[in-house]
Amino acid sequence: MGQLQGKTAVVLGAGSAGNMGQAIARLFASHGARVMVAGRKDVPLAALAAEIAGEYALCDITSHAEVHALADHAAATLGRVDIAVNTTGWGLLASLEEITQDQLDRIVALQFKGVHHFLQAFVRVMRAQSPTGGSLISLSSATTRAIITNHAAYIGTKRGSEALMECIANDYGHLGIKANSVSPAFTDSPMTHDSFAVPGLTDAFLPRYPLGRLNTVEDVAQACLWLSTDQAFVTGANIQPNGGLTLRGNPQAGDVAAAVSAAMAKGAQ
């Protein structure tokens, strides 16, 4: 019997093939959960829902109305919502001086206001299920503990989302609602795939991981699975399934440039 047998789950941000949301949805379904996947892309969501015998819905996390509609639709369709996971994010690479007002507005809308919408909507649904409550998870980033160059807006909004999770854990724990963050590091996913193709780039990162490899989407999914079980007596935490990166810290811009240059020089020989 799976670890989530009989439970229901919503995974928001599962609209791109091979991303973290899809990996989480597949793992949850394999452990017995009935899963609704959500995001902005109809075709891949429909295909994933069919694959895992689940449901799907369109939802833009930056829209207060759409997120609340998703929570209501999930509760009505699934009967209840035991688990809700937010995997949305935007790996914006921009210095403090370069970032535009449009970029700043977009990343705040996605990674801070959107998380607030998500929590508000699913707390509303889950509080009606008290005392069984539910499990809320939002993906953050190892960069909030291991600062990296030219990510101020990204890191700032992710760290803000972590604070939201801690507040929800404190304010709604008495209703049986758990709220935790999960923080991957540099992971090969649709959001970062182009970066992984840059020669030498991963060479700058690998020595920073005590466990000797970069984390994968499956590592992240497994962390979310554990937090979603009844056995995880954890709330207000920030789980780091990133192989110990936060012990050594991320490489900085100069380290990355040197590794890329070295790889290109070697390739030219």
CATH number at residue 117: 3.40.50.720
Per 3-state DSSP, the chain is made up of helix, strand and coil in percentages (nearest 5) of 50, 10, 40
Indicate whether 237 belongs to any domain: yes
pLDDT tops 90 at residue 67: yes
pLDDT tops 90 at residue 263: no
Average pLDDT, stretch 101-124? 98
Indicate whether 268 belongs to any domain: no
Indicate whether 199 belongs to any domain: no
Separation CA 25–CA 8 (nearest Å): 11
User: Which one of 92-101, 128-137, 188-197 scores highest in mean pLDDT?
Assistant: 92-101
* Structure token digits, residue 96: 């403090």
Indicate whether 47 belongs to any domain: yes
Helix (H, G, I), strand (E, B) or coil at 211: coil
Count the helices and strands in the chain (H runs, E runs): 11, 7
Separation CA 110–CA 40 (nearest Å): 13
Give the pLDDT band (50/70/90) at residue 258. Answer: confident
Indicate whether 261 belongs to any domain: no
For residue 105, what are the domain limits? 8-189+214-247
Indicate whether 132 belongs to any domain: yes
Residues 131-152 have pLDDT tens digits of 889 999 999 999 999 999 999 9
Note the pLDDT of residue 33: 98
Percentage, residues of the chain above pLDDT 90: 84
Indicate whether 146 belongs to any domain: yes
The total domain count for the chain is: 1
Indicate whether 142 belongs to any domain: yes
